[in-house]
Structures are given as structure tokens and as C-alpha cells.
């Protein structure tokens, strides 16, 4: 923030404040800017002759009734003029007239806020008033987020890192000059596109960096548009757009790719150093995902997984998503490995923990066939842990994890394992107890367990734990009703020592003591 005071003896209690509004999203207006807008006596803003002001529309949530408004309407923008001084003469005269209009308010002691998109001192319209009024009145400049920062943020691409150089260039430069500047910098932002776009496109092509550049239009607004620069239609480019050449340390190829499993994906990184990370998201929302998993997901170029699991991840326009059906684990694994072979950093996502009835084993099995791609596994909070935690500690002693799905193994094997776990007096966490096409296994499993467990054995039915429809119930094993169990449920079945107690609020708590009764010699 900068502040200046009048130095030529013109006395007034009024102040001029040049207020930066940021790149377009009203929520990116700073707290100070919002406060000053609300406190001002006079709100001033520039606009073209159509009268619509982007600056005013951004500031509108912070305006109050009763404020005077000064619309500073440009007499010309890019068109010709018959002013004797030409275009520049017309603009200079306009700025002088606007300065005097604001000076009337300042002499009267009014607080004047002049709105400015982006930052007032970064190619901002405010600076023309600042030069004419700052020596006569008290002024203050409130910085704003620049369009470059907004564009970098919506792309999810760093501007510059470590010793890299970032160069900011106007698109009005001659294409040859612009190409020379682009060729000698690490990263660049080119502003003032619109009618200059053809020359800017030519300059990026001459500099050999067109394929690494992005186009961002009206960043952070509801009319935002992002594209690889090479794909932009010149006739569609407004003035409020820019071309961005991001940090080469973080560079990836912006060429588009198909977004479905089984279609060809373009490489998004050099064809070396690719890897696959199998990431556990935990059982529900982002707050259930570990920091290590979040870091692995953030570093990825490509995200591969079951569609609903990918939908749980925050949007990142830098990353490509490849959703697929939940029944194609082997194909999904091969697809992820192919992306990594082309040089991409690939994250394969699983709900819960990827090593528990999920994608880790499928990816490792596929990778073992070739041994040419590095695979890492990042664990996640399991559904069994989430359900157990909701009711206490039913898995506090030895327990068995078992899936009732007979899609990849026969029911005979499942029944044998149920019986073995029951005979060993292990608590059980049962995954995939039912689905739309499997409705009889819950009853069959209950009957197998009742041959070795008492009817009073506690059973926890956890459904959508961590989600919007979360429920958890504790029932007796003998009362386990298959109609209450669907594909979103997980069952925890206690051992002979598992106990049910009551909390002070009346809710049940289930736990399995860590001490086990002594057995006879």
C-alpha cells in the first residue's frame, strides 16, 4: 500500500483512494478494499462508451445506498477520432477533465474511491488520475491481485520457481520484439491481447514456445475460459485476456487428451521419469484424506480411477482425469502404466486404503509383468477403521478383514474363511456385503457365523460413514436383517469378548478388550 499527501498547499480533508479489485471474482477483493468502498462518499470508475463498467460490477457487493457515482466514460477506445491531437490528445484531454471532476469532490472534503481492475499500479487506469491528483490531494493506493496471479491460479501452474525469471510484456509490442523477449526469459505473461492476438501468437511461434503457452480469458469470473494458446480462435479473444508461459520447472505439455479409459492419452511430461502412485482417499470427504495422499494427488499430472472417486477430488485444470467403471480394475491399471511409460506422473485413486480390496494389488500385478514403471502406494484410512471409530473400538483385538463379493472368488472360499474366522474367535470387518445383484450373501454369512457365535454377538452396520447419509446401528447377530444392508454398508461383527455399553447420552459404544480370557491348558 502507498500513501501520499498534498504538497502544494491545496487544503482539503478529502482523500482519493485508488482501490485495486483483483482479477474479477468479487471474493478476491481484499478486506481493506471492501471496507473503503463501503465507506466512500464517491465511487468513481472508468468505462467504455457502452457505459458498462467491469470495475463497478466487481465492487457492487460492497457498495451502499446513497453513494455518489462518477462514471468516467472514455471518449475513444480503439477507434479513430477527429481530435486535433489525435487519439493520444483525446485521451489526455479526457484524463484532465476526469481529474478535475474528482478534484471538485476532494476540495469539498469527500472521500473518493476510484475503482481499478487488478492492481492500480499494474497497467491500471487509476495511475492516470494518480499522476494528476497526487501532488494536490492526499491519496492512498490499495493494491489488488493482478490478472497474472489470477490466471496462474486458475491454471494451477506456478509462474516462476527458484532462480527463474518472469517477464511481463504488453501484447502491443512488435511481434519480432516480443518473440525476442519470449526467447530470452524463463516464464512470461503477455497482456493486452484482443486485437493484438495475431501478433502475440506469431511471437510465441517464432520464439519456439507456442506449445508450452496457455491462454486465459476473464480469469476467476463466471465467464472464465482457458485453453492451450495454440488452439485459440483469434476472433474470439477479448481485451481482458492474457497469454501465459508458466515456469519451465513445472512445465507440462498443454495438448488436450481424451478423458475416458481405453482412449489414447497424450503425454503431459517428458517421456522419462514417469511413475504411478496408488493413493487411498479414505472413506469419505477431503478431510478424511491424509496430507501425504493430498501431496501425492497434487503432484500428479493424470488422475485415474472410478468416476465417483475422482469426483471427490478438488478441480485442477492442469490435471487430466480419466474416469472409468468400477469393474475394470485390470484395464485401469494397464492404462495408468501406459501413461507413466509416456512420462506422466499418474495417481490411481481408491476409496479407503488402496491395499484393501482396491487398486494397489491390481496395479502392482500389472506392473510386475514388465517391471519398467515405478509404483508407489500411499495408504488411506480404511472403511473398517471409520465404521469402528464411529461406535468405539470393536476391532480393538485380533480381527479378520473379509469381502463377501464372489465376483473374483467363489462363495465356497468365502464360506470357508467365514467359518475359520468364527472358529478362531476373530472379530470381522466385512466389506462388500451386498450389491444390487448380490442380495443373499448377508443371510448366508450370518448363518455360518451363528454356528460358532452366540445370537447376542454385536454387529455394527455402518453406512456411508463420513458422507451426507451416514448412519450406524448396533444389532444382535441373530437380528441382522439383510434388507438393511446395501452396497454402501460395511459390517463389523464382534468376537466372543466384544461388549456393548451405553454412553452418557444413551448412544451405544462397542469395544473388544485387548485382554483375552485365559484358556485351559
pLDDT digits (tens, 9 = 90+) for 20-79: 999 999 999 999 999 999 999 999 999 887 778 999 999 999 999 999 999 999 886 555
Q: Identify the pLDDT of residue 182.
A: 96
Asked if residue 9 has pLDDT above 60, the reply is no
CATH of 148-250, one of 2.40.110.10, 3.40.50.300, 3.30.950.10, 3.40.50.720: 3.30.950.10
When pLDDT is averaged across residues 101-108 and rounded to a whole number, the result is: 95
When pLDDT is averaged across residues 347-364 and rounded to a whole number, the result is: 94
Q: What is the pLDDT of residues 397-435, one digit of tens each?
A: 999 999 999 888 899 999 999 999 999 999 999 999 988
Q: What is the pLDDT of residues 283-341, one digit of tens each?
A: 988 888 998 999 899 889 999 999 999 999 988 888 999 998 877 889 999 999 999 99
b/e per residue 436-449 (b: at least 16 CB within 10 A): eebeebbeebbebb
- Report long-range pairs for 90-99 (Cβ below 8 Å, ≥24 apart): 95/128, 95/129, 95/132, 96/132, 98/44, 98/70, 98/72, 98/128, 98/129, 99/129, 99/132, 99/133
Q: What is the pTM of this model?
A: 0.51
3-state secondary structure of 282: strand
CA pair distance 183, 402, nearest whole angstrom: 60
Task: Kindly indicate whether the domain formed by 384-511 is annotated with CATH number 3.30.950.10.
Answer: yes
Strand runs labelled E in 404-470: 427-431, 458-463
DSSP assignment of 367-409: HHTT--SEEEEE----HHHHHHHHHEETTSS-EEEEE---SSS
Q: Identify the pLDDT of residue 52.
A: 82
Homologous superfamily assigned to 275-378: Tetrapyrrole methylase, N-terminal domain (3.40.1010.10)
- The one-character DSSP state at 286 is G
User: Do residues 404 and 439 lie in contact, with contact meaning Cβ atoms separated by under 8 Å?
Assistant: no
Spatial CA neighbour of 511 closest among 371, 391, 341: 391
Domain with CATH 3.30.950.10 in the chain: 148-250, 384-511
| CATH of the domain spanning 2-145 | 3.40.1010.10
Asked if residue 265 has pLDDT above 60, the reply is no
Domain with CATH 3.40.1010.10 in the chain: 2-145, 275-378
Given the DSSP bridges, would you call strands 187-191 and 241-245 parallel, antiparallel or unpaired?
A: antiparallel
- Neighbouring residues of 98: CB distance < 8 A, sequence distance ≥ 6: 44, 70, 72, 128, 129
Edge-to-edge order in the sheet of strand 214-217: 166-170, 187-191, 241-245, 214-217, 225-228
Amino acid at each position: 500500500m502507498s500513501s501520499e499527501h498534498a504538497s502544494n498547499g491545496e487544503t482539503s480533508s478529502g482523500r482519493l483512494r485508488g482501490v485495486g479489485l483483483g482479477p474479477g471474482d468479487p471474493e478476491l477483493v481484499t478486506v481493506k478494499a471492501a471496507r473503503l468502498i463501503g465507506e466512500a462518499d464517491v465511487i468513481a470508475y472508468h468505462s467504455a462508451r457502452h457505459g458498462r463498467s467491469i470495475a463497478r460490477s466487481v465492487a457492487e457487493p460492497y457498495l451502499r445506498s446513497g453513494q455518489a457515482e462518477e462514471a468516467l466514460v472514455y471518449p475513444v477506445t480503439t477507434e479513430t477520432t477527429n481530435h486535433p491531437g489525435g487519439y493520444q490528445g483525446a485521451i489526455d484531454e479526457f484524463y484532465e477533465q476526469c481529474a478535475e471532476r474528482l478534484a471538485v469532490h476532494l476540495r469539498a472534503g469527500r472521500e473518493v474511491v476510484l475503482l481499478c481492475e487488478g492492481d492500480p499500479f499494474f497497467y491500471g487506469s487509476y495511475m492516470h488520475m494518480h499522476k494528476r491528483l497526487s501532488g494536490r490531494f492526499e491519496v492512498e493506493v490499495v493494491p489488488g491481485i493482478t490478472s497474472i496471479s489470477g490466471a496462474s491460479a486458475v491454471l494451477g501452474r506456478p509462474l516462476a520457481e527458484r532462480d527463474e525469471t518472469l517477464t511481463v510484456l504488453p501484447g502491443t509490442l512488435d511481434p519480432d520484439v516480443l518473440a525476442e523477449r519470449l526467447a530470452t526469459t524463463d516464464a512470461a505473461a503477455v497482456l493486452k491481447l484482443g486485437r493484438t492476438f495475431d501478433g502475440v501468437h506469431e511471437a510465441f511461434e517464432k520464439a519456439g514456445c507456442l506449445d508450452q503457452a496457455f491462454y486465459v480469458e476473464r480469469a476467476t469470473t463466471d465467464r472464465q475460459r482457458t485453453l492451450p494458446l495454440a488452439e485459440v480462435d483469434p476472433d474470439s479473444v477479448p481485451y481482458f485476456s492474457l497469454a501465459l508461459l508458466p515456469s519451465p520447472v513445472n512445465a507440462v505439455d498443454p495438448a488436450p487428451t481424451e478423458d475416458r479409459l481405453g482412449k489414447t492419452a497424450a503425454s503431459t511430461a517428458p517421456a522419462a521419469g514417469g511413475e504411478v502412485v496408488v493413493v487411498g482417499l479414505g472413506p469419505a470427504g477431503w478431510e478424511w484424506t491424509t496430507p501425504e495422499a493430498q501431496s501425492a494427488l497434487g503432484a500428479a499430472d493424470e488422475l485415474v480411477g472410478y468416476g465417483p472417486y475422482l469426483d471427490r477430488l478438488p478441480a485442477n485444470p492442469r490435471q487430466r482425469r480419466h474416469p472409468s467403471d468400477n469393474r475394470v480394475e485390470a484395464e485401469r491399471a494397464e492404462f495408468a502404466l501406459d501413461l507413466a511409460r509416456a512420462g506422466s506422473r499418474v495417481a490411481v485413486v481408491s476409496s479407503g486404503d488402496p491395499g484393501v480390496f482396491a487398486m494397489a494389488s491390481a496395479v502392482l500385478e500389472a506392473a510386475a509383468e514388465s517391471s519398467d514403471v515405478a509404483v508407489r502406494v500411499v495408504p488411506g484410512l480404511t472403511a473398517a477403521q471409520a465404521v469402528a471409530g464411529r461406535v468405539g473400538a470393536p476391532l480393538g483385538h485380533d480381527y479378520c478383514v473379509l469381502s463377501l463379493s464372489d465376483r473374483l472368488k467363489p462363495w465356497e472360499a468365502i464360506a470357508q474363511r467365514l467359518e475359520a474366522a468364527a472358529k478362531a474367535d476373530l472379530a470381522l470387518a466385512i466389506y462388500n456385503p451386498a450389491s444390487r445383484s448380490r442380495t443373499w450373501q448377508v443371510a448366508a454369512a450370518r448363518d455360518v457365523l451363528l454356528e460358532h457365535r452366540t445370537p447376542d454377538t454385536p454387529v455394527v452396520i455402518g453406512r456411508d460413514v463420513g458422507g451426507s447419509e451416514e448412519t450406524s446401528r448396533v444389532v444382535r447377530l441373530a437380528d441382522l436383517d439383510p434388507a438393511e444392508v446395501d452396497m454402501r454398508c460395511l459390517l463389523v461383527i464382534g468376537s466372543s469378548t466384544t461388549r456393548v455399553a451405553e454412553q452418557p447420552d444413551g448412544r451405544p459404544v462397542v469395544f473388544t478388550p485387548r485382554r483375552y480370557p485365559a484358556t485351559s491348558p
